[in-house]
A and B are shown apart, each in its own frame.
Chain A
Amino acid sequence: MMTGPTFHQLKKMDRNSALPPQFKLAVLGDCATQLLSTAIRGYASYIGLGMDVFDADYNQIDALVMDDHSELYDFSPDAVLLQMCTQKLYEGFCGTALQDRSSFAESVFNRIRGVWRRIGSRATILQCNFPLLDDGVFGQFGNKTADSFLFQQRKLNYLLMQGCQEAKNVYIIDLDSLQNQLGQGAFSDAKLYYIAKMPICVDALPVVAKRVLDVVQVLRGTIKKCVVLDLDNTLWGGTIGDDGLGGIQIGELGTGHAFSDFQTWLKELKNRGILLAVCSKNNESAAKEPFEKHPEMVLRLEDFSVFIANWEDKASNIRKIQQTLNIGMDSLVFLDDNPFERNLVRSMIPEVTVPELPEDAALYLPYLRQLGLFEAASYSAEDSLRTDQYRTQAERSAFEASFHSYEDYLAGLEMKAVAAPFDTFHYPRISQLTQRSNQFNLRTVRYTEAEVEALARDDSHICLYFTLQDRFGDHGLISVVVLDKLPQETLFISEWLMSCRVLKRGMEEFVVNKIMQIAVEQGFRKVIGEYLPTSKNAMVKDLYEKMGFTRRTENRFEADPAHFQYHKNYITEE
């Protein structure tokens, strides 16, 4: 399963990389981390990310973290990777008095949490957990006694999970599950620890680097949002057109169990907010029949946001899916058992991720589970509703067609919006939206949950979120605005983003009206907006001008709230 670049290739990529640094990572460990740092830098350039890495000297965690003027803070990292190794942990355990061992995990956890707190909001923290080392001293009885290292180590990994629920800027790099996947022999090399204090062997460094980069990438807003699925021999065994409803293998029939399991997994992804779409070469009615009539299908039509079955080429159909959902091409994953289709899509739309699905359907799941495609930096209760929100979009389109003018249509939607200051309940969703929005995003500032909370508590900002609902359903929280209070009665719009699924509904006008209203109420005389271009946000290049701001420089705009022409729109404020 270890495909991908070797350490040696990564080292070369690191040396030859000329990418401008876009992310600063500090690597701190109680073991030797130099080669890990090399692998991380190399892996970053392998995926096209310029990364500046500060590799701390051996065993300097406390010194660097405690001193406010240390090189660590001078470097001002975006994230700090903390690698404490199990070998060191074990030394500490053996040096602990017998009567204190049953609370060993708590005391180590408290120390680690002290490091997290000391770093505080200065950087995101990537905390490696501890790859399991069973010292064998108690045998399997170690599971049954709190005095064993086995027990304490497992508890510590659990405490880290528990602890980062509260410490919002801490993310776990799950080395334990990685070691589990690779096997201890492939993950570490005992002699390397004795010779060089390296807990991870050279050949495993690239996959460790990948795990770190997977998290870095979602923090930077690169997220998979939709899985596009073929049907025949991908979602069931056999061909619906030839084998018919009773002949396809799903559930009890033939190889069906593997496909049922695969569907169950996809449904879990859907429940956590990943959209599903069908892209199949079939007659539409035949393609839909199993979802409507087969009793053993796990997925049903309502689980899909878009369903395309026709005889056109798949690249064109994937473009259609992408346009319908209005999400980035690079947020799509395409799964198809047919190598021809996979290669076609890869060559026509290189941005789409196309995993090399194994030939044996029994291996689909083991293969996909370890790819780490669906990394997330946040999760909110609203995520499970996402499919419904995209599906009601289709109903809205039909409704729109029944009106003569777009204004009549907007009026008929009966839209209601809420504008409210950030509150605890919405921190996860606000953070998530700053990470997911790329197109309608004026300055593309990403916030972790901890940063959202800090903003909300800081009086020098006005932080607003917006929700929208209409006669077809609730869009939930779809826009975020952060206004910085500057001297001379000036408000600066330091964050404004909106989910693209509510475009052209008058929501942007509603938001601007609200900003101006607040500016007037709180006595501000000037509102400044700024557009910071990225490769994805060209759609809002001229937004401020369209909204009635005056262009001052190329990307800076100004408005006078006292004399602002409020925009007409069809949204009622609740």
Chain B
Amino acid sequence: MTEQAIFQKLSEIFSDVFDEDIVVTAQTTASDVEQWDSLTHITLISEVEDAFGFKFSMKDVLGMKNVGEMVDIIRKNT
């Protein structure tokens, strides 16, 4: 999957989870999205795992600083 395709798919997932149109970039962080709290984070993680067919590690979940890092992890695992 190309990086562009991953961003595309993530934008869809984010829009769906947060129920608003969101275009994510590598720099997007939790503070950019109003509803992005620790609980929605769990939902988001689970949706991304299901969509890409792999599981994040605990370290991944706690360590991700922005969407760019999430994409790196996705690329490593798919």
| A residues neighboring B (CB under 8 Å) | 7-8, 11-12, 15, 34-35, 189-192, 194-196, 198, 201-203
Contact partners of B43 in chain A: CB under 8 A: 7-8, 11, 35, 202
Could you say which of B16, B17, B58 contacts A195, with CB atoms under 8 Å apart? B58
CA A312 – CA B36 in complex, angstroms? 58
A and B contact pairs by CB, cutoff 8 A, 28 listed: A7-B43, A7-B46, A8-B16, A8-B17, A8-B43, A11-B43, A12-B19, A15-B19, A34-B39, A35-B39, A35-B42, A35-B43, A189-B55, A190-B58, A191-B56, A191-B61, A192-B42, A195-B42, A195-B58, A195-B61, A195-B62, A196-B38, A196-B39, A196-B42, A198-B42, A201-B46, A203-B46, A203-B50
Main SS at interface, chain A: helix
Is B27 in contact with chain A by the CB < 8 A criterion? no
- Residues of A near B57 (CB, < 8 A) are 191
In whole Å, how far is B21's beta carbon from the nearest beta carbon of chain A? Answer: 16
Residues on B with C-beta less than 8 A from A8 are 16-17, 43, 47
Residue of A nearest to B60 (CB): A191
Which residues of A have CB within 8 Å of B46? 7, 189, 201-203
Whether A202 touches B61, Cβ cut-off 8 Å, given contacts A8-B17, A15-B19, is no
Among B37-57, those with CB < 8 Å from A are 38-39, 42-43, 46-47, 50, 55-57
Q: How large is the interface on B (under 10, 10 to 19, 20 to 34, 35 or more residues)?
A: 10 to 19
Residues in B with CB closer than 8 Å to A192 are 42
Q: Measured between alpha carbons, how far is A123 from B39 in the docked complex, in Å?
A: 29
B16: A residues at CB distance < 8 A: 8
Instruction: Closest A residue to B62 by CB, please name it.
Output: A195
Question: Lowest 9 CB-CB distances: which A-B pairs, in order?
Answer: A202-B46, A191-B58, A196-B42, A195-B61, A34-B39, A194-B58, A202-B43, A191-B61, A8-B47
Q: B1-33 toward A: CB 8 Å interface, digit per residue (1/0)?
A: 000000000000000110100000000000000
Closest to A8 in B: B47
- Distance, CA A181 to CA B18, complexed state (A): 32
Q: Which of A11, A15, A190, A202 has the most CB of B within 10 A?
A: A202
Task: List chain A residues, Cβ under 8 A from B39.
Answer: 34-35, 196
A11-B55 Cα distance, complex, nearest whole Å:
22
Residues of A within 8 A of B17 (CB): 8
Residue of B19, B43, B46 with highest tally of chain A CB at under 10 A: B46
Chain A's nearest CB lies how many Å from the CB of B48?
11
Q: What separation, in Å, do the CA atoms of A201 and B46 have in the docked complex?
A: 8
Given contacts A189-B55, A192-B42, 11 further A-B contacts (CB under 8 A): A8-B16, A11-B43, A12-B19, A34-B39, A35-B42, A191-B58, A195-B61, A198-B42, A202-B42, A202-B43, A202-B46
Question: Residue on B with the closest CB to A32?
Answer: B39
Report the minimum CB–CB distance from A337 to chain B (whole Å). Answer: 32
A192 CA to B55 CA, complexed, in Å: 11
Contact partners of A195 in chain B: CB under 8 A: 42, 58, 61-62
Alpha-carbon separation in the docked complex, A8 to B51 (Å):
12
Chain A proximity of B29: nearest CB distance (Å): 18
Tell me the bound Cα distance from A328 to B47 in angstroms: 40
Nearest CB on B from A63, distance (A): 22
Residues of A within 8 Å of B56, CB to CB, are: 191
| B62 CB, min distance to chain A CBs, angstroms | 7
Task: Please name all residues of chain B whose beta carbon is closer than 8 Å to the beta carbon of A203 when the two chains form the complex.
Answer: 46, 50
Complex: chain B residue closest to A194, CB-CB: B58
Q: How far is the CB of B32 from chain A (nearest CB, A)?
A: 21
Bound-complex Cα distance A34 to B55 (A): 22
Rounded to whole angstroms, the CA-CA distance of A194 and B50 in the bound complex is 20
Complex: chain A residue closest to B42, CB-CB: A196
Chain A residues, CB < 8 A from B47 = 8
